[in-house]
Amino acid sequence: MMNGLLTIFVVGILAGPVSVKAQSVPDVVTDTFFNGIIDQSDPSCAGRNFYTRSAFLEAANSYSQFGTADDIKREVAAFFAHVTHETGHFCYIEEIAGPTYPNSQYCDPSYTQYPCNPDKSYYGRGPLQLSWNYNYGPAGQNIGFDGLNSPETVANDPVISFKTALWFWVNNVEQVLSEGFGATIRAINSIECNGGNTAAVQARVGYYTDYCNQLGVDPGPNLSC
């Protein structure tokens, strides 16, 4: 018995360390995972013919830092939990009643570096519902479209749409991932926290824990806000 154990030990040394390939975003965001979200939306939803896994992966190629701030599976779970909540399982491309909302222009004139076009509105569009001139302006500059004069591009081009979500994520959310999922809720829509909209917070947490379970990763602490 001892000779057998010694043989195994020596072979292990001679073979050297086992190489474990790090998982990539496409490895985690599989067809099964992505379709498991979008298939829960109604067949009549506009987003079902707009949002695709291939568009997401093409957009993600421009944001190599996505998936590196924390465990890649936990970050993917967090990102898609918010996307699921914001779009209704990829049903909506634009904010519900966005054009008719009293403050549909979503223009903050104090951001003089991002002047609003009076003929355009900056209501929510895309996977994370990009809103306000101060987000459309810099997002457009980073991605390469005219966010202030053509904000509708976010609702017309699925790759750009996903890029706006990833741009917002890496610039406003990734840095708080280590604090727990609750901190990401606060970064995306702080008015829901501290009792502002308990149902919305619970929905986001529910999606997150579900996706963590699907991906086989611990959701971590501090889930709420």
**Could you report the per-residue pLDDT of 73-126, keeping only the tens digit for each?**
999 999 999 999 999 999 999 998 777 666 668 999 999 999 999 999 999 999
**Could you report the per-residue pLDDT of 182-225, keeping only the tens digit for each?**
999 999 999 999 999 999 999 999 999 999 999 999 999 999 99
Length of the chain: 225
Helix (H, G, I), strand (E, B) or coil at 180: coil
Answer yes or no: 95 catalytic. Answer: no
**Could you report the per-residue pLDDT of 206-216, keeping only the tens digit for each?**
999 999 999 99
| Mean pLDDT score, 29-56 | 98
- 12 Cβ contact partners less than 8 Å away, ≥ 6 residues apart: none
The one catalytic residue among 58, 75, 86, 95: 86
Q: CB–CB of 69/173 below 8 Å?
A: no
The residue type at 211: Y
Instruction: Kindly compute the dihedral angle of the four CA atoms of residues 138, 134, 176, 215, in this order, to the nearest 10 degrees.
Output: -70
SS3 content of the chain, % helix, strand, coil (to 5): 55, 0, 45
Q: How far apart are CA 86 and CA 189, in angstroms?
A: 10
The residue type at 156: N
